[in-house]
Structure 1
């Protein structure tokens, strides 16, 4: 669980880049409907719109690559950029070796299997991005101090990290070459099995769709229900101007349930997270989840919100996915029908409302109010009841450490005293810092002298674990951490 929470924190930086992109795309679609519906793009307003759509899409479409760098650097000790470089090497290796063109060259028979081809078409996804980031950062942490023979000394230390990551990625690619299409095909089979279950099947699909977002395998189910993998194509038939009379299911039932959840449910959940955040971290929580909620409402881009907590509180994410399933069943039974060509935000709702298959779109108001309330109540109850570590609730002291003042401005001297207090550099295995704390991993906890550490003028010492020491320095912690690292070399 601690590893997942560390991964969740590492994802915060790339996730923070996404909300503004989603908002830009939402504004762009409003200014330029042709970018979504097709047709000529003429006039100043539409040209500005398509510009904004492309600008926002530049990061949204390459989200996986952001995760590669974010996790590679964020999970590396010292947040060293070498971990990010190694992660990028891993990403390039995996996505190249598992690209459809190369895989079908190795095994030409795959080209004749639509499901397997589709699986490798979707290999460049956030899951592979996170996996590459983990490989890169792990290789950095394990091999950054590697000593090689003299004739290979040029590749010693950090220079060997990307090389090792590349070798590991080759092995991982071989495993995925056989495992990925099996998982993808299995989910397509599941999709086929629930396609004839009516409203319940739509709910199961929506639940699995959200649940599989972290892995990228939701694409398998999407292709069953939204496109023509098994003859359904809910999305394509909806936007082709058809109605339920033209198909053998209620057209739009596999898209409609997402609208109340994305437009109103996520803002409700975001409000719960903000109110549950610690007082000294509410501004941080607002900056992350409020902007993500606005992004979800405007254009249905939900990843900034979801990746912001799915690894910090995986149990809550399961509940989140379950709520999607429940609301999809209710929406389907009530007869609300809307469709999307991008995602289930206000922009798509506006455009799809004029299509022949759209039904009872006014129900978005009562459904939205219900979704807001239910998501808010469920999230607030779960967060407080089980003390879940959503944004703004990380394991820190209750005092506002941003107001802590370091008693000694000689950072070198402060770092020296702290180092003596933790038993010297031989006792230190890991050095990191957050906004206000120097975070250390140590070998022997009995060698730690808290009084000695406090004599450096710091605000306090926290011992969250047997081999962990956190020194509360305040906002100048980065300067102390830099000097501490120099002393430990």
Structure 2
């Protein structure tokens, strides 16, 4: 296999892996909101401010909400072990998910057996120091999300290879999809015996990444925030984010006698336990996005509106407003970002640097607001409602500065470079022409010409597989040269990214899943 094909396959795998992370992370984000609400309304400071909350029935309800909100945090490795084979499998996804559960449990049972046979099982007081913990009632290595990821990837490979297996007639009952959990059981049992030998090397590598970030001091959050935005066009930012949120790379702390790894895990554990929130953890979380997401990008949208030709402003208003709402309220930024990403590398690099600077500013100013999205919901639930110790007012102070900087910089560059942002009708630039259809596009408009989009993708014979993340179609194609980027944009796409000869992303917006389903039906 040529190096080009190997690179293409690796890129496709990494994109797909990052996409599968979104399923447990989306659940975690919602459960985090419940956990935040519950903890906010059971805190003594909130009760003193709002005395009517000091009601036994209400407090039981809020404690129940907190307990439910902690669910995803407690079982996150298992969720990854299920989501990865489910998301990566192209057929028989239910069997892949079922095998993911089987594989993860058997791997930990096998690890427990190895530790027992080698007299390495620690007692309850020493489990944390020994790097062990209770996983689904099984004492095993404390691998966290990485354990779920390792298990999920192996199970996916087994599913892909064996789900069509045909056995001799005497064993025909175990053929096909029934064979997948069987082979999964055997292979993951062996993996569980091998992992304790090699796990220290995995752990050292991840800890090394954490030390590099930690050694950067206050610039650690800047490097993380800027790198995350820089990777976004390629769809690989989810992998970096997952590493910081869920592994030793994002820090390690002992909370209530249990070793917790990953910035988001640490934040949720402290929130659930009522402990003081760690600024070292939240430095990589929601707070860093807020200056850019809640203020900066809306400032950029206002600049694009004011630089549009007067006769076009009413037409671009819906496009820009829907992008601002998605960014500020939900933390979904792509509908706005892809309006300038393909037009001006200068604006994109500015945006990357300003996002990193937002993380740096929040950390230096001592803000402690966690969770995942950097949205208004996070600001209210994990900032305002948690009390003055979060220093939430600093977000508004810095945000107003970010709004002004984004607005004036975008307006200056758009006018100086005569950029083809929406409504300006500049000469056609490849990949950036905004037609009447796109200018009229709003977030609730699903009237895509699906057959024409398939034709523009090179036809059904050119499409190997299709999936989606939050805002974009992700396609594996036979030849990306057969994909007509300009035609796709004329049909309503916000942009097209050809990662290599076999991997293409089409930026659609928040209703991308409905479009993907329509395309699959037509295929």
Could you state the TM-score of these two structures normalised by the residue count of structure 1? 0.55
The Cα of 1:147 is off from its aligned counterpart by: 1.5
Give the Cα separation in 2 of the matches to 1:375 and 1:475: 36
- 1:295-347 deviations in Å (ceiling 9; x for gaps): xxxxxxxxx99xxxxxxxxxxxxx999988755655565xx335579899654
Matched, 1:204 2:230: no
The Cα of 1:4 is off from its aligned counterpart by: 2.0
Give yes or no for contact 2:102–2:185 (8 Å, CA) kept in 1. Answer: yes
Give yes or no for contact 2:40–2:381 (8 Å, CA) kept in 1. Answer: yes
Matched, 1:22 2:32: yes
Aligned to 1:51, which of 64, 68, 76?
A: 64
Aligned in 2, Cα 1:437/1:339: closer, same or farther, shift over 3 Å? closer
Aligned in 2, Cα 1:191/1:373: closer, same or farther, shift over 3 Å? farther
The Cα of 1:160 is off from its aligned counterpart by: 0.9
User: Is there any run of 5+ residues in structure 2 with no aligned partner, and where?
Assistant: 1-10, 48-52, 134-139, 229-238, 260-265, 305-315, 335-349, 373-377, 414-418, 420-430, 432-436, 453-458, 483-497, 505-514
Give the Cα separation in 2 of the matches to 1:69 and 1:432: 20
Give the Cα separation in 2 of the matches to 1:350 and 1:145: 54
Q: Following superposition of structure 1 onto structure 2, how do residues 102-113 of structure 1 map, counting pairs within 5 Å?
A: 104-109=115-120, 111=122
Say which SS state the counterpart of residue 143 (structure 2) adopts: coil
Aligned to 1:365, which of 392, 396, 401?
A: 396
The Cα of 1:69 is off from its aligned counterpart by: 3.0
Give yes or no for contact 2:78–2:148 (8 Å, CA) kept in 1. Answer: yes
Aligned to 1:261, which of 280, 288, 303?
A: 288
Aligned in 2, Cα 1:135/1:58: closer, same or farther, shift over 3 Å? same
Q: Following superposition of structure 1 onto structure 2, how do residues 455-474 of structure 1 map, counting pairs within 5 Å?
A: none
Question: 2:251 is matched with which residue?
Answer: 222
Question: 2:131 is matched with which residue?
Answer: 117
- 1:47-97 deviations in Å (ceiling 9; x for gaps): 332233233333354344333333322211235311111222222223444
Give the Cα separation in 2 of the matches to 1:321 and 1:48: 42
User: Is there any run of 5+ residues in structure 1 with no aligned partner, and where?
Assistant: 243-250, 295-303, 306-318, 386-392, 408-418, 423-427, 449-463, 482-489
Could you state the TM-score of these two structures normalised by the residue count of structure 2? 0.52
Give the Cα separation in 2 of the matches to 1:194 and 1:468: 31
Give yes or no for contact 2:294–2:328 (8 Å, CA) kept in 1. Answer: yes
Give the Cα separation in 2 of the matches to 1:167 and 1:326: 49
Give yes or no for contact 1:207–1:325 (8 Å, CA) kept in 2. Answer: yes
Question: 1:160 is matched with which residue?
Answer: 179
Aligned to 1:87, which of 87, 90, 100?
A: 100
Give the Cα separation in 1 of the matches to 2:300 and 2:168: 53
The Cα of 1:148 is off from its aligned counterpart by: 1.4
Aligned to 1:403, which of 448, 462, 468?
A: 448
Question: 1:77 is matched with which residue?
Answer: 90
Give yes or no for contact 2:290–2:358 (8 Å, CA) kept in 1. Answer: no
Q: Following superposition of structure 1 onto structure 2, how do residues 33-432 of structure 1 map, counting pairs within 5 Å?
A: 33=43, 42-78=55-91, 80-98=93-111, 104-109=115-120, 111=122, 116-117=130-131, 122-125=142-145, 127-185=146-204, 200-204=216-220, 213-215=241-243, 218-219=247-248, 222-223=251-252, 254-255=280-281, 257-258=283-284, 260-267=287-294, 292-293=330-331, 330=361, 336-337=365-366, 339=368, 346-350=380-384, 362-369=393-400, 402-404=447-449
Question: 1:451 is matched with which residue?
Answer: none
The Cα of 1:161 is off from its aligned counterpart by: 1.2
The Cα of 1:261 is off from its aligned counterpart by: 0.6
Give the Cα separation in 2 of the matches to 1:159 and 1:10: 24
Aligned in 2, Cα 1:25/1:193: closer, same or farther, shift over 3 Å? closer
CA root-mean-square deviation? 6.2
Question: 1:31 is matched with which residue?
Answer: 41
Aligned in 2, Cα 1:433/1:110: closer, same or farther, shift over 3 Å? closer
Give the Cα separation in 2 of the matches to 1:437 and 1:89: 31
> For this pair of structures, how many residues does the alignment match?
385
Give yes or no for contact 2:466–2:516 (8 Å, CA) kept in 1. Answer: no
Give the Cα separation in 1 of the matches to 2:403 and 2:361: 15
Give yes or no for contact 2:46–2:387 (8 Å, CA) kept in 1. Answer: no
The Cα of 1:433 is off from its aligned counterpart by: 7.4
Say which SS state the counterpart of residue 201 (structure 1) adopts: coil
Q: Following superposition of structure 1 onto structure 2, how do residues 446-461 of structure 1 map, counting pairs within 5 Å?
A: none
Give the Cα separation in 2 of the matches to 1:48 and 1:331: 33
Give the Cα separation in 1 of the matches to 2:241 and 2:256: 18
Give the Cα separation in 2 of the matches to 1:149 and 1:325: 59
